[in-house]
Structure 1
Amino acid sequence: MQHANDSALNVAVTTSPALGDSLLLMTVARNLQLSGKTVTVFSQHMRALRDWFPGIDIQPALRDDDADALLRPFDTVIQLHANRPVPRLEQRHPDALVLEHLCRAPSTEPMAGRLAQFCRESLRLHHAEPGNGLAVPAGLTHRKHRLRVAIHPTASTPDKRWLAPRFVRLALELKAKGFEPHFIVTDEERADWEHVQQHGVGLPRLGTLDNVAAWLVESGWFIGNDSGIGHLASCLRVPTLSLFMRRGIARTWRPGWGAGKVLVGGAWLPTGRLKERCWKYALSVNQVLRAFQQLQREAT
């Protein structure tokens, strides 16, 4: 990359289809912009949240057939993973920066902190911070519904998902304690969770990611699997409890913005393979409730 103080530098940031990755890479985009660079973000999810990122140019996600033409005018192109969203980026652009090595770095920092450190040390943006520029639009009140607990029971892959019946039991326990649990799922997932409504558990129809963010920012708490929605809650400074399968994964990918706790299921299991297969069975509802109580004490 050219000298970090070159104010004419024109940078493209391309984010993967994953919501969490996209929110994280906005940390780099934000710090570059604050240093005087011209930054354009190509991202499906961030395009949906463009009203939450004022002043940042956010374009639709790149398609492989138009990526070369759209990226050619940029001095530098940055993406997190080697082959997504743009496959073989380092062969297709003369000044591509792929940051995948940060995912494997021997660091105790979450990815938000690692990306800020990369900006300080490699891009020489000495005042870089983990913030990604997300700002709550006017008309919304942060944590307006203090007793509302947003529960996200799904994830991008089955191995990341705690057991569905335990999520339901957790919601009922929270309801008995005076909280207002609601499950956040996509329209495609909704049929699998409609039964929770018969127990008095909420299942709002939120639709767009913009609506999810607006509803989430006014919630008091968040509990969920390792997922992009957890990163969004953390970005919105809603206290988060995130459930993970392995300690190493949690160390890297835990939400890194607002107050939060991580709970790893089956950390006592002897091998990584067993942890990945059995964590969801080893993690009890009572463990999650105790961790939530700790989060309450720490976040108030």
Structure 2
Amino acid sequence: MRSDHNTSVGSASFIETTAMQHANEPVMSVAVTSSPALGDSLLLMIVARNLQLSGKRVTVFGGHMHTLREWFPGMDVRPAMSGDDTDTLLRQFDTVIQLHADRPVPRLDQRHPAAIVLEHLCRAPSPEAIAARLTHFCRESLHMPHARMDNGLSVPAGLIHRKHALRVAIHPTASTADKCWLAPRFVRLARQLKSNGFDPHFIVTDEERADWEYVQNYGIGLPRLGSLDNVAAWLVECGWFIGNDSGIGHLASCLRVPTLSLFMRKGIARTWRPGWGAGKVLVGGGWLPTGRLKERCWKYALSVKQVLRAFEQLRREAA
């Protein structure tokens, strides 16, 4: 939490007090304002789902989740709040929950009397992934002893889970460049997978596509998927996923596609590793002596051979 906040928003005592205030009410209305980041949004849906199952009237606001609203049947999912109508919308709810102190709604604790910000969970010195931390928060702080690590995502009819057993989805980009392994090594990885009998495809956005079209010269797939719901529909039928620390990795994990995720630092991997289906994380340059060196050099320290070896381990464990 930021030190300049003058309330105890996000603390266990505040959360418990807020929950107790509504304990005798038949229904409590809750707004969940999900992050502009895909992974954060999927994770916060754990809280939304468990609140819904406990009888609360839950409304989720967020762009990514609104695009995927057909994948969350029974949940009221709306577009992200805009600046003009945010305060009006907030006043309609007894409680408002978001993951980070500053996004998507800035100064949330000052704009709603029963705001719950969960950033302290992201910063906690815990060995558990954030998905597990959010589940424990539901059980212990929101008094839902039967809370599960389930965010309510349901695969629409007509799609077959892991239909293409040898198809490997590779996500070579991320929200920031420092999270990205080296592009030539991703290509070498894909070519080696292809020679081993797999069917590798790169997942990139339409805006990133021009930088990756050359991979098709090596027989590597580059599907034009467009919107996030199309990405999810294609991804759920893949056999495997390999990628950087990114929201697409969380989506693959949420879809129970076995994931291999590449991270720059152990601490980041411990907190933000995908937390649903079978998965492994691989940290580059863990032997480097300082955090600054790890962040600058991890992608050079991580070899194609190491990634292939981790993928084989994932295959054995997933089997």
Q: Distance in 1 between matches of 2:241 and 2:19?
A: 41
**2:208 matches 1:189:** yes
Give the Å deviation of 1:7.
3.4
**2:285 matches 1:266:** yes
Q: Deviations over 1:75-129 (max 9, x none)?
A: 0000000010000000000100000000011111101100000001100011111
Give the Å deviation of 1:216.
0.2
Give the Å deviation of 1:130.
1.0
1:64 corresponds to which residue? 83
Q: Distance in 2 between matches of 1:65 and 1:157?
A: 29
- Extract unaligned runs of 5+ from structure 1: none
Q: Distance in 1 between matches of 2:26 and 2:174?
A: 40
SS at match of 1:251: helix
Amino acid at match of 2:195: A
**2:40 matches 1:2:** no
SS at match of 1:191: helix
SS at match of 1:65: coil
SS at match of 1:78: strand
Equivalent of 1:94 in 110, 113, 138: 113
Over the matched positions of the two proteins, sequence identity in percent amounts to 78
Amino acid at match of 1:2: A
Equivalent of 1:175 in 194, 202, 216: 194
2:185 corresponds to which residue? 166
Equivalent of 2:130 in 92, 105, 111: 111
TM-score, L = length of structure 1: 0.99
Amino acid at match of 1:122: S
Please list, as runs of the form range in 1=range in 2, the aligned pairs for 1:1-300 lying within 5 A after superposition.
Answer: 1-3=18-20, 5=23, 6-300=25-319
- Whether the 8 Å contact between 1:2 and 1:9 is mirrored in structure 2 is no
Give the Å deviation of 1:288.
0.1
- Extract unaligned runs of 5+ from structure 2: 1-17
Q: Distance in 1 between matches of 2:19 and 2:187?
A: 52
Give the Å deviation of 1:189.
0.1
Give the Å deviation of 1:255.
0.1
Q: Distance in 2 between matches of 1:86 and 1:298?
A: 40
SS at match of 2:64: helix
Q: Distance in 2 between matches of 1:271 and 1:55?
A: 47
Q: Deviations over 1:9-40 (max 9, x none)?
A: 00000011000000000000000000000000
Give the Å deviation of 1:66.
1.3
Q: Distance in 2 between matches of 1:64 and 1:282?
A: 43
Q: Deviations over 1:211-251 (max 9, x none)?
A: 00000000000000000000000000000000000000000
Give the Å deviation of 1:65.
2.0
Give the Å deviation of 1:64.
2.0
Amino acid at match of 2:214: H
Q: Deviations over 1:48-75 (max 9, x none)?
A: 0000000000000011221100110100
Q: Distance in 2 between matches of 1:38 and 1:220?
A: 36
Q: Distance in 1 between matches of 2:138 and 2:272?
A: 18
- Whether the 8 Å contact between 1:89 and 1:96 is mirrored in structure 2 is yes
Count of residues in Structure 1 that have an aligned counterpart in Structure 2? 300
Give the Å deviation of 1:285.
0.2
Amino acid at match of 1:191: A
TM-score, L = length of structure 2: 0.93
SS at match of 1:26: helix
Amino acid at match of 2:19: Q
SS at match of 1:2: helix
SS at match of 1:273: helix
Give the Å deviation of 1:2.
3.1
